[in-house]
Amino acid sequence: MTRSASILLVDDDYHLAESMALWLREMSHVVVVAGTLDEAKTALKKQTFDLVITDLRLGNDDGFDLITHTRKRFPETSVLVITGYATPNTAIEAVRAGAYDLLTKPLIDEELTLAIDRSIQQRKIASENDALRKQLDRRSGMENILSHDYRMLKIFDVVDSIADARASVLITGENGTGKSMVARAIHTRSARRGGAFIEVACGALPDTLLESELFGHVAGAFTGAVGDRPGKFQLADGGTLFLDEIATATPAMQVKLLRVLQEFQFEPLGGSETHSVDTRVILATNEDLSKAVTSGAFRQDLYYRVNVVNIVIPPLRERVGDIPLLVEHFLREAADASDRNILGFDREAMTVLQSYAWPGNVRQLENVVERAVLLSRNSTLTKDDLPPELTGQMGDVSFAAYSVDSSATATHSFEDVSGKTLRDALEGPERTIILQSLRNHHWNRAATAEALDINRTTLYKKMKRLGLDDPRLQYSSNS
């Protein structure tokens, strides 16, 4: 049965148009009649139509103009052409112009009904495809950023909000937290996704080479510069440039960066011609730039320029609830890559993974999981498949466990503490002890405080400082 559709019927033969409109209305369609090209365009502006049925000859007007206009301005509306002067070439031209189908006069009722049904069905499929495309786009760029942590979910919302803004974005966080992935997600979810995404590690290049890398150079700018070479700012024109380790930039380079971020103009190394670009810049650092500004190591004006939007990625030790999710993802990737049948980590091994401080964050976790998959001889991974720094076992030496109470112990790896304050150095063991005690007492804070011989207020403060105050943590910690 023909479904109801909204139809714009365009024909300069008034009596024929009214007769066809009456028949279409009897078929439960909603029909508006237009006799000229201008009338048709006016009707299209006033309301949305599922289908335009038009003759190719509209008095002094050309029906092809209406097909082109509808295709360009109202792509969701199908066009069905009806003409008494059709040739094979006419049909081809009509389809190329954007018509869905072409029928010849005199019309056969069943043929027209079938054409209308096909048009409605095509429009429905196109609408469903558009909805699916939007759903895919909603997640586009976030596929590998796995988290249930409320702070990470807020970051996802920020990425959505600023994706299309031209303002600079500063991403801060420890090494291995995924700053590059967040930067790429911003690019992928923006209107610049069709442009290039170019990443530059500022700390990996000396100042002169970094200037050439970013701004390009002309022939003869330095020894070995035999020709002109465009820089990353030019290569990322219309796209996104990600500058990692921005805190390592020298004062001279900071001046050059400030100018290009303000004016989007620069001169290549050794050249005098000014280039203008439309490049989105995202910067990242694992250092506290505000402290660098205070010490004079980082320009204050550049700091204010790059810190328009600041995304702070929390370290893995502060979102322990994400570890099972990340482990499962990395385990499947490693198992598929090595063609191994791995079921997963057992309970004891997962407890060790969630108790560790992860100084290398997500990147270190990925390496640990891949190592366990490659070296294990069993389908279920155990504590023995984890590296010594996680279990506290170094060769034949077993490091003493930290005593929590008569029923709870926690192990913590010894790690390099050079350059750390005493408080920072003790943070890892302290977090391990408190987390283990909370688990052993089923997250009863009063009992935990009593076992640790501290008051509850002190426990609450320590939990907040160490990232243990997330209420969802107890439900995803295998306690």
CATH number for the domain spanning 378: value is 1.10.8.60
- Do 411 and 455 share a structural domain? yes
- Do 299 and 156 share a structural domain? yes
Is residue 437 within 8 A of residue 451, CB to CB? The reply is yes
- Do 275 and 217 share a structural domain? yes
**Is residue 128 assigned to a domain?**
yes
Is residue 232 within 8 A of residue 209, CB to CB? The reply is no
DSSP letter at 27? T
Query: What SS3 state is found at 198?
Result: strand
Task: Look at residues 136, 167, 198 and tell me which one is the last residue of a structural domain.
Answer: 136
**Is residue 143 assigned to a domain?**
no
pLDDT for 301 equals 94
Rg of the chain's alpha carbons, rounded to an integer? 33
- Do 332 and 294 share a structural domain? no
- Do 283 and 398 share a structural domain? no
Task: Look at residues 291, 314, 337 and tell me which one is the last residue of a structural domain.
Answer: 314
- Do 236 and 131 share a structural domain? no
Side chain identity, residue 209: L
- Do 464 and 348 share a structural domain? yes
pLDDT for 141 equals 54
pLDDT for 204 equals 79
- Do 469 and 323 share a structural domain? yes
Candidates 161, 244, 230, 238; CA nearest to 196 is 238
Indicate which CATH number applies to the domain containing 107.
Answer: 3.40.50.2300
**Is residue 70 assigned to a domain?**
yes
User: What's the rounded Cα separation, in Å, for the pair 202 and 207?
Assistant: 9
**Is residue 386 assigned to a domain?**
yes
Report H helices in 298-421.
300-306, 323-338, 347-355, 361-375, 388-391
- Do 415 and 332 share a structural domain? yes
- Do 427 and 348 share a structural domain? yes
pLDDT for 413 equals 45
Indicate which CATH number applies to the domain containing 261.
Answer: 3.40.50.300
**Is residue 160 assigned to a domain?**
yes
**Is residue 145 assigned to a domain?**
no
Candidates 412, 476, 390; CA nearest to 439 is 476
Give the total number of structural domains in the chain: 3
- Do 335 and 289 share a structural domain? no
pLDDT for 476 equals 52
**Is residue 142 assigned to a domain?**
no
Residues spanned by the domain of 180: 150-314
pLDDT for 396 equals 37
Query: What SS3 state is found at 270?
Result: coil
Digits of tens for pLDDT over the chain (479 positions)?
456 889 999 988 888 888 888 988 988 889 999 988 899 999 999 898 988 998 888 878 888 888 888 888 888 888 888 887 666 677 777 777 778 788 887 777 788 888 888 887 877 777 776 666 555 444 445 555 778 888 888 998 899 899 988 888 999 999 999 999 999 999 988 889 889 999 998 887 887 788 889 999 998 888 877 888 899 999 999 999 999 999 999 998 999 999 999 999 999 988 888 999 999 999 999 999 999 999 999 999 999 999 999 999 999 999 998 999 999 999 999 999 888 889 999 999 999 999 999 999 999 999 999 999 998 889 999 999 999 888 875 443 333 333 333 333 334 444 555 566 667 777 778 888 888 888 887 788 888 888 888 887 788 788 888 888 766 666 554 43
β strands within 187-235, DSSP E? 197-201
- Do 100 and 160 share a structural domain? no
**Is residue 141 assigned to a domain?**
no
